[in-house]
Every structure is written in structure tokens, then in C-alpha cells.
Structure 1
Amino acid sequence: MTKTRIYVNGRFLKASVTGVQRYAYELLRTIDQLIDRGDPAVRDYEFIVLAPTGEIRELGTKHIEVRQAGRFGGQLWEQLSLPALSKDGFLLNLCNAAPLFKRKQAVTLHDAAVYSVPDTYSASFKLWYKTMFRVLGRTSPLILTCSNNSKDELVRHCGIRGDKIRVIYHGKEHVLQTGTSPEYPAQQGLERPFVLAVSSQSPNKNFRSIVRAAELIGDQGFDFVIAGGTNPKIFKSQETELGDHVRHVGYVADEELRTLYERAACFVFPSFYEGFGFPPLEAMACGCPVIASDTASLPEVCGDAVLYCDPNRPEDIAEKIAHVMQNPALQQQMKQQGLAQAAKFSWEKCAYETLAEVKKYAAGRTADQTARSDSRKVEA
């Protein structure tokens, strides 16, 4: 029997790995595992990742071919070459972008950040993504997203019909599948309990408020550890130099990050906006108590397992950190609640739900046909 061909937009293999690319890698690797064990969900389907020519990152799949082809690179490749390369199959786009004029495709739009936190992006980036989201919302039969908060924002800002959008949560096992680096904390001189934050260059991540919270708390017998590639100079207050209890450890490898999650007394994540929010989910999966913003998708992902803070008030962040750090019993309770919350999310569940939706359209069904079918199921 001829298998239905599903192409995957592999432009993400050219990019550095952030949360969006992490989702693409983990979803495809999980689908590859389903193929390997002959799972019925993938038995009648062939998956091919199409990528631009030149140097790309390894996908690491056994059964999903990565095929490099086409002229151009970047957006030109995506808009001009990719539709031609995928003309005999259905196209799955996983990273917020897709060809504007291909009809037989699905696209994952992770958030509406260009509308919700516009100061994070350049004018040209915002213009292109706002245009693309609106066009794709009209032309693509299926839109995937990672939280109900993102779905609501895509409907509100982009005018996408709600019945075209399917919410499918991401997984967390990737953080548990890496090794650990037990010696890393000692190498960094981390002998005291510490609060962990993972930094980014994006103002949206709000790490200035963490440093301000650290200043408000002062040295109370624990350290603040900021991991990530951001220049530590941006964390310096205009009035005060960072104290010795605030440490910027720079870039960390995956096994070092997992070790920090596992050793930290708590993890603080005061982001202004997230479409999903990998870091707090990863921290919970590693048994680390979490303090997170009470905004956007974070309450949806973190549930009742974390302590929430107002990202606009460093005083509130400081109060919540001090409360957790002064209460070992609360830390243990939050650890257990976090592990239970993280257990609700898995890449296998994400893969099964994604396949179920994509398969409705890969055979040629339209959004209206699927909506009518779903409506009949509800009525029945």
C-alpha cells in the first residue's frame, strides 16, 4: 500500500536551539521512535524533513529522512523552494513560519509575542510575522499551538478562526534524558544553597527584576545563580554593583543545566510573556521548586504546583524567594507538587495528538469538513 507522505519544514535545522526549535527536534525524534516500534499511528505514513542546502544540525532520527534540496536559503527557500519540494505531499511546519501560498499544510504558531511584547522585536520582524500569521491563519487548514492562552491571542490579534486551532502541549523528557555533571556546582564555587535563574538576551525574560530582587534580599546565606549567555553587565543596577552572592555562570551545557535544576533550592522565572514556558516545566521535572510569573501561559502550564509572582514588582519576587528559601518544608512540598504537575506533560502524548490532527488533513480534508465532523461527534 502506498504511504501518505508528510513533509516537514526543516529550516529549523539551520537555527540555534531555543524553545521553538527544541519542540521541533523532540517531536520528530518521538515520531521516529513510534516508527521504530511499528506503532499503528505512523504505519501508513512516510515522513521526510526538507532542509536548505549547506551546513545543518543533526536531527538524529533513524527512520525520518533529512533531504537537503532547493535553491536559495532562509525565507526565500521557505517561500519559494519549499512549496515545490513538497508538492506531492502534506507539509508540516513546526516553527512559526510556513510558505504563504501552500494550501495543503499545517503550521505551529507558538505564540502571539509580536503583538503582546512588541518591544522585543525589530520593526521589520514584527511586520513580516504579523503579515505571515494573518495570511497563514486564512490559508492553512490547520493551526497548532501550545497553550490555550496562545490560542486565545491568535484568535484575538490575528483573526484566526478558533475551530482551526488545536492546542497541543509540549513535553519535558528531554531534560531528563541528558546526563548530569555532579562536579559542576563545586567548580563554580557553589557551596551554599542557591536560587537559579536561566537568562536570555530578550528583555521579555525580565532578569533585571531578579537582580533587583537579589539586591532587596541582600546576602542571607544563599546565592543567586544566573545561567545563560547574556552579558552580565546588563544585570548591574545603575545604583549598585552586584553583590558577591549573585553569580553569573554564563553558558551552561545541557548536563550542567540539569544539575543546576536538581541542586537549586528554587528556580525563579519572572518572564513577562511565554507561549508555553519550557524552563519552569523542566525545573519541576527535575524536582526543583518554582517561582513563576502569574502571566500568559505560565499558570496554565504550572498549575497549582508553583508559587506565583508579579513580574512587574521586584519586591513581590523578593518576598516569594525569601519565603521559599526560609521554609525547607515548603520546598519539599513544592518539589512533590512540581513532579506531579510535570508528569502530565510528555513528548509521546504531544506526538500522538499532533499525528491525530495532521492525519485529518493529510488525506485532503478541508478545515470546514473537519469542523463539521467534530461538530457531529459532539452532538452524538
Structure 2
Amino acid sequence: MKTIAFNGKFFGAAPTGVHKVAEQLVAAIDALIAGQAGNGLDCALVVRDRVEIPSYRNISCVRESRWARKMHRIAWEQCYLPLARRRDFILNLCNLGPLFHRDSATMIHDAQVYSAPESYSLPFRLWYKSLYFFIGKRHRIIFTVSEFSKSELVRYGIADPDKIVVVHNGCDHVLQVQPDARQLATLRLKPRRYVLALANTQKHKNIGILLKAFAGAQLGDVELVLFGGATRADFEGHGHVVPPNVRFTGRIADAELVGLMANAGALAFPSLTEGFGLPPLEAMALGCPVVAAPCGALPEVCGKAVLYADPFDPDAWSSNILAVLNDEAVRQSLIFAGLGQAGGFTWKQAARSLFETVRAVTG
């Protein structure tokens, strides 16, 4: 049986949702192997940088030579990695992988460079589209995170449907994080009287509809807390008017985000398209009600456990948010349904589905 080499380029890179998924999958696969003693599996995590990584019991860590670490990330992934691991099966979990290594599997999370091109720069779109085209044709397996994403990958000609395997994300990692509620004091927030959302200016994230809703009188006494890297100046630079009841956390630790979710009145998620949509599931797992747009993979992932609002109607968002905040029956119903929905998405299940597929292909 071949060595399965995990492309560890994401370690040491700026944190993103895709990187979080990759880290959770590697950890879950390591735990899965631990429960299958004597199966002869040989797995290695190949990393380029001198970065701190978790300690794995059954996945060895390969740190490349000094000159390899000096290579640009793209050159390392496209040239060095396939040469250094030419006898291995390479597993890429963050959208991209080496084009010249056919014995590979790549997880492409979405097709948003096609469906939401205005959210990305022209060079970014061209690079991703060119790589997707060849990866979809050359690599042996294409994983993706939802049936919706699979249909999009087929629609845009990235891969044939019989090559694509859907592996839903898990969300149970948030239950292992000790909540840190210090952000409530820092931002002077009242539990259950604020709404969480992403601080992201990409057009398809559609945060502008929330800014319009929170500028209205209905939500005048409710705080909108935006977590993530984008700032007030970033939103204003994109032409948005940011009302005074909007707070920005900046980039915060997972424990602080969990603390905010556990105490929030609701999470608002108005995206126009999503390959999966992990934050709504994370919120539901923590007992936080969700108001979402019925777009992309969100209906597939969230089911009937959220309130859906028209992504282009600020009044619909105001009404649904007020229903969650002020109607205890609605709130408790969403919490109960959300806990049940989130319970169906575990990393153990995701790891088993992904790894059994890889093991079948590698023989």
C-alpha cells in the first residue's frame, strides 16, 4: 500500500475557513487510524515551513530541507512536492494541488471563482480556474463538501460527477473549545441582545444587507458584532454605510469566538452562495439560533433548523432577527432543532468517508 502524503502547505498560512477544515480532517483521520490498529496504513504530513503543528499519533511529520523551505509556496507545491513525493498518493485538502502528480486527490470546496467572480481579483480567478481545470481532469478523486458544490463543479466543467465524492464538514470541534467571554466586556455587549456575523467585504457574503437592516429603527437597540479581519474602514471603502450599532472584533481566538456565539442572540448568515457554510453549524452546535439566506449549500446544511430570510430584503432580516430575540418560543424551537441538525455533522464521520475512499483507490 502506498504512503498517503498530506499536502501541509496550509500550516503556517493565514487562517481561513478552508484551512480550519483541513486541520480538523487531518486530526480526525489520525484518530481514525488509531482505532484501526494493524491496517498497515502509512501516512505522512509534508510541511514546508518551520511552524508549530499538532502532535499526531499515527501521521508522521516530514519537514522539508532548508532550500525547499526557501521556495515560494506555489513553486513548492507545484514543483518540489510532486518530485519529493513522486511514489506517494498526495492528498490535498485546500482547493489546490500539484498538477503534475496524477496519483492525487484534491478537495475543492466550492466553485465561487465561477459563480461569484466579483468577489475575487482577476489574477486570482485566472489562477484558480486554470488549476481547477487541470486538477479536475488529472487527479484521481475530487472531494467536495456538499451536494450543491458537486453540482457546481459539474456545471462549470471542472470534473465529471462520477469522479466527485461529497464529504460534509463536521462542526463538533467547537464543543472542545473552552469559551472565553472577554469580548462581551471589551465591546460592552449584553448577552442575547447582539447578533453575530462575518466581517467580510466579499460581495457574495452579502454583509451589506445586514448593515442596512441594522440601520433601521427596528434594530436600533441591537448590536451587530462582525468578527474577522475586515474593518469599518474596509466596509466604508466598498461603499457601505456602517451604522453606529455595529461593532468590529477584528481577528480573535477560537475561544473568544465560541464565547461570542454561546452568548449571542443569533448568528446572521446572508451569503448569496456557499460551498458549505460552517459558521451556522458551529453556532447551532453551541445553542445559538441562526438566521440565514436560502442560498447555495445553506438549505442542504442547515435544513429546517434556521429561519430563512430573503437575501435582498433588509426588512425580512429585521423581522426574523427580532423574532429570534424577542419570542422565546421561536428561540427555543430553533435551539432545539439546531442542536439536532449540528449533531449530524461530525469530523469522525467526515474522516471515515474521505479516508475509506482514498484507501479504496490506493489499494
Task: Normalising by structure 1, report the TM-score.
Answer: 0.88
Tell whether the 8 Å contact from 1:199 to 1:205 is kept in structure 2 after alignment: no
Note the C-alpha offset of 1:39.
1.9
Tell whether the 8 Å contact from 2:213 to 2:219 is kept in structure 1 after alignment: no
**1:210 correspondence with 2:206:** no
Deviation track 1:184-230 (CA, whole Å, cap 9, x = no partner) reads: 41332113611111322433322221111101244554322222221
**Cα distance change on mapping 1:170 and 1:218 into 2, 3 Å:** same
State percent identity of aligned pairs.
36
What residue is the counterpart of 2:33 in the other structure?
Answer: 35
Q: How does 1:68-87 map to 2 (within 5 A)?
A: 68-69=63-64, 71=68, 72-87=71-86
**1:62 correspondence with 2:60:** no
What residue is the counterpart of 2:149 in the other structure?
Answer: 150
Q: How does 1:157-236 map to 2 (within 5 A)?
A: 157-191=156-190, 193-219=193-219, 221-235=221-235
What residue is the counterpart of 2:41 in the other structure?
Answer: 45
Note the C-alpha offset of 1:56.
2.8
Tell whether the 8 Å contact from 1:194 to 1:225 is kept in structure 2 after alignment: yes
Note the C-alpha offset of 1:274.
1.1
Work out the CA distance in 2 between the residues paired with 1:304 and 1:239. 31
Work out the CA distance in 2 between the residues paired with 1:304 and 1:221. 28
What residue is the counterpart of 2:127 in the other structure?
Answer: 128
**1:242 correspondence with 2:238:** no
What residue is the counterpart of 1:366 in the other structure?
Answer: none
What residue is the counterpart of 1:375 in the other structure?
Answer: none
Deviation track 1:36-83 (CA, whole Å, cap 9, x = no partner) reads: 3x425x82211101122x333424323312212263231111111111
Tell whether the 8 Å contact from 1:217 to 1:318 is kept in structure 2 after alignment: no
Work out the CA distance in 2 between the residues paired with 1:201 and 1:157. 25
What residue is the counterpart of 2:326 in the other structure?
Answer: 326
SS at match of 2:247: strand
In structure 2, the gaps of 5 or more residues are none
In structure 1, the gaps of 5 or more residues are 364-380
Deviation track 1:243-300 (CA, whole Å, cap 9, x = no partner) reads: 3x33223232211111111111111011122111111010001011100111101111
Deviation track 1:317-360 (CA, whole Å, cap 9, x = no partner) reads: 22221222221110111000000000000000000000111012
Note the C-alpha offset of 1:117.
0.6
SS at match of 2:105: strand
What residue is the counterpart of 1:301 in the other structure?
Answer: 301
2:82 aligned partner, one-letter code: P
Tell whether the 8 Å contact from 1:276 to 1:297 is kept in structure 2 after alignment: yes
Of 11, 14, 21, the residue aligned with 1:13 is: 11
Work out the CA distance in 1 between the residues paired with 2:130 and 2:105. 17
2:2 aligned partner, one-letter code: T
What residue is the counterpart of 1:378 in the other structure?
Answer: none
1:129 aligned partner, one-letter code: Y
Tell whether the 8 Å contact from 1:133 to 1:158 is kept in structure 2 after alignment: no
SS at match of 2:279: helix
Note the C-alpha offset of 1:138.
1.1
**Cα distance change on mapping 1:159 and 1:219 into 2, 3 Å:** closer
Deviates most, 194-203 or 344-353? 194-203
Tell whether the 8 Å contact from 2:92 to 2:104 is kept in structure 1 after alignment: yes
Q: How does 1:236-315 map to 2 (within 5 A)?
A: 242-243=243-244, 245-315=245-315
**Cα distance change on mapping 1:211 and 1:234 into 2, 3 Å:** farther
**Cα distance change on mapping 1:200 and 1:56 into 2, 3 Å:** farther
Work out the CA distance in 1 between the residues paired with 2:84 and 2:310. 47
**Cα distance change on mapping 1:217 and 1:234 into 2, 3 Å:** farther
Tell whether the 8 Å contact from 1:144 to 1:165 is kept in structure 2 after alignment: yes
Note the C-alpha offset of 1:240.
6.0
Work out the CA distance in 2 between the residues paired with 1:169 and 1:248. 30
Tell whether the 8 Å contact from 2:187 to 2:247 is kept in structure 1 after alignment: no
**Cα distance change on mapping 1:331 and 1:8 into 2, 3 Å:** same
Deviation track 1:145-168 (CA, whole Å, cap 9, x = no partner) reads: 000110001001024110000001
**Cα distance change on mapping 1:78 and 1:325 into 2, 3 Å:** same
Work out the CA distance in 2 between the residues paired with 1:113 and 1:57. 31
Q: Give the CA RMSD over aligned residues.
A: 2.0
Deviation track 1:87-140 (CA, whole Å, cap 9, x = no partner) reads: 122111111001112111111011001001101111111111111111111111
Work out the CA distance in 2 between the residues paired with 1:198 and 1:57. 27
Work out the CA distance in 2 between the residues paired with 1:228 and 1:50. 29
What residue is the counterpart of 1:101 in the other structure?
Answer: 100
**Cα distance change on mapping 1:45 and 1:295 into 2, 3 Å:** same
SS at match of 2:10: helix
Deviates most, 318-327 or 82-91? 318-327
Work out the CA distance in 1 between the residues paired with 2:242 and 2:352. 50
Work out the CA distance in 1 between the residues paired with 2:248 and 2:256. 14
Tell whether the 8 Å contact from 1:267 to 1:283 is kept in structure 2 after alignment: yes
Work out the CA distance in 1 between the residues paired with 2:120 and 2:94. 17
